[in-house]
């Protein structure tokens, strides 16, 4: 039985935590606006708009980290920001068309310093030129954020070209397909699991490696009757480099509504599931009854 003191303590901690994000979320929004306006200026060749978002245009260096086949290592290429702006003005006169699309933003803040990771694809005359990730540093000045550093990576392979290639959408569809394969007792279900994957079931003893899980589940699949789970809702999250994804989902199952979470990794074979955990949900008002049932068992 939880004491009144612990309940008060938990509630106090809970509401304190709720109070913190409001300010944090406000700063995140301001940073997002700064970054979006900067790249909007780039795409529209509006050098004045870009310059207004930089803390010091005379000292800022734009840097690119590019892999060199000759040296088999990465090299840094630097360009003064003012020189970069002059290049944009010349391109504007030549009516050269380009667009840099940002696919997502991963923002970290500590006091007056913020870092932003933004995977991007760069198009020239609607043709894909290259892609990579921008790493942007910003400093807070009074109520606004200014850019103090900008570095990017560049490559021409494995580039995303449109919204339909959103990793979140791919992961969401892949998980739906995975559940459908189980419902149809299709053994391709196991191919979606990474070689070193872990499956945690609803029983406390059920921590399966892939090999052990395949051995356990194969007889059910061979009989043509495995299990049927259907996602009622799912939230998908991505790492800044978009190579790791994780999710939590609410499932409709023969056990009632279950909760599950998992981790996926992007590989040469596509997205593979490396960790999955399934749990049975117990309504709060039935917890005491549930505990008594376990004691009787």
pLDDT bucket at 16, cuts 50 / 70 / 90:
very low
Q: Do domains 17-154 and 166-286 have the same CATH topology?
A: yes
Domain edges within the chain:
17-154, 166-286
pLDDT digits (tens, 9 = 90+) for 30-55: 999 999 999 999 999 999 999 999 99
Nearest to 54 by CA among 84, 90, 98: 84
pLDDT digits (tens, 9 = 90+) for 142-176: 889 999 999 999 999 888 888 767 888 899 999 99
Q: Rg of the Cα trace of the chain? A: 25
DSSP strand pairing (270-280 vs 193-200)? parallel
- In this prediction, residue 296 carries a pLDDT of 57
Query: Which of 6-20, 123-137, 158-172, 250-264 has the weakest average pLDDT?
Result: 6-20
Give long-range contacts, CB 8 A cutoff, 24+ apart: 37-40.
38/147, 39/100, 39/102
Nearest to 107 by CA among 136, 147, 79: 136
Class of the CATH domain delimited by 17-154: alpha beta
Between 197 and 106, the more confident residue is 197
Does residue 9 surpass a pLDDT of 60?
no
Task: Tell me the average pLDDT across 254-272.
Answer: 93
- In this prediction, residue 24 carries a pLDDT of 64
Residue 164, CA distances (Å) to 168, 208, 234 in order: 10, 34, 18
Does residue 8 surpass a pLDDT of 90?
no
Distance (Å, whole) CA 132 – CA 121 = 7
Distance (Å, whole) CA 171 – CA 43 = 30
Between 20 and 231, the more confident residue is 231
- Residue 279 — φ and ψ, nearest 5°? -140, 145
Between 14 and 295, the more confident residue is 295
pLDDT digits (tens, 9 = 90+) for 112-151: 999 999 999 999 999 999 999 999 999 999 889 999 999 9
pLDDT bucket at 10, cuts 50 / 70 / 90:
very low
In the Cβ-directed half-sphere of 204, how many Cα atoms lie within 13 Å? Answer: 1
- Residue 197 — φ and ψ, nearest 5°? -70, 160
Q: Quick one: what percent of the chain has pLDDT higher than 70? A: 91
- Side by side, the strands of the sheet bearing 270-280 are 207-209, 193-200, 270-280, 256-267, 244-253, 230-238
Distance between alpha carbon 258 and the CA centroid of its chain, in Å? 24
pLDDT digits (tens, 9 = 90+) for 265-296: 999 888 999 999 999 998 898 888 888 888 85
Global pTM value: 0.61
Q: Do 176 and 231 form a contact (C-beta atoms < 8 A)?
A: yes
Query: Thinking of the domain 166-286, which architecture would CATH place it in?
Result: Roll (3.10)
DSSP-derived secondary structure for 242-255: SSEEEEEEEEEETT
3-state secondary structure of 27: helix
Distance (Å, whole) CA 93 – CA 110 = 41
pLDDT bucket at 23, cuts 50 / 70 / 90:
low
- In this prediction, residue 113 carries a pLDDT of 97
pLDDT, mean over the chain: 88
pLDDT bucket at 96, cuts 50 / 70 / 90:
confident
Q: Do 152 and 134 form a contact (C-beta atoms < 8 A)?
A: yes
């Amino acid at each position: 039985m939880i004491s009144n003191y612990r309940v008060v303590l938990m509630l106090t901690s809970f509401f304190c935590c709720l109070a913190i994000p409001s300010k944090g979320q406000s700063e995140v929004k301001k940073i997002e606006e700064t970054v979006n306006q900067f790249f909007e200026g780039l795409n529209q060749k509006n050098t004045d708009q870009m310059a207004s978002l930089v803390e010091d245009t005379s000292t800022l260096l734009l840097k690119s980290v590019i892999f060199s086949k000759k040296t088999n290592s990465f090299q840094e290429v630097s360009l003064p920001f003012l020189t970069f702006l002059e290049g944009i003005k010349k391109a504007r006169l030549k009516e050269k068309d380009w667009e840099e699309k940002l696919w997502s933003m991963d923002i970290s803040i500590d006091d007056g310093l913020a870092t932003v990771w933004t995977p991007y694809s760069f198009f020239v005359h609607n043709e894909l030129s290259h892609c990579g990730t921008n790493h942007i540093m910003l400093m807070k000045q009074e109520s606004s954020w200014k850019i103090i550093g900008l570095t990017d990576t560049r490559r021409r392979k494995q580039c995303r070209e449109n919204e339909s290639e959103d990793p979140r959408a791919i992961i969401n569809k892949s998980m739906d397909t995975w559940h459908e394969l189980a419902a149809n007792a299709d053994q391709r279900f196991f191919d979606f699991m990474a070689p070193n994957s872990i499956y945690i079931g609803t029983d406390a003893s059920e921590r399966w490696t892939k090999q052990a899980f395949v051995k356990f589940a194969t007889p059910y699949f061979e009989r043509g009757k495995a299990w049927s789970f259907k996602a009622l809702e799912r939230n998908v999250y991505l790492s800044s480099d978009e190579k790791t994804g994780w999710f939590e989902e609410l499932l409709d199952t023969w056990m009632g509504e279950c909760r599950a979470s998992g981790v996926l990794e992007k590989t040469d074979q596509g997205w593979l599931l490396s960790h999955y955990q399934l749990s049975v949900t117990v309504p709060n008002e039935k917890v005491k009854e549930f505990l008594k049932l376990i004691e009787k068992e």
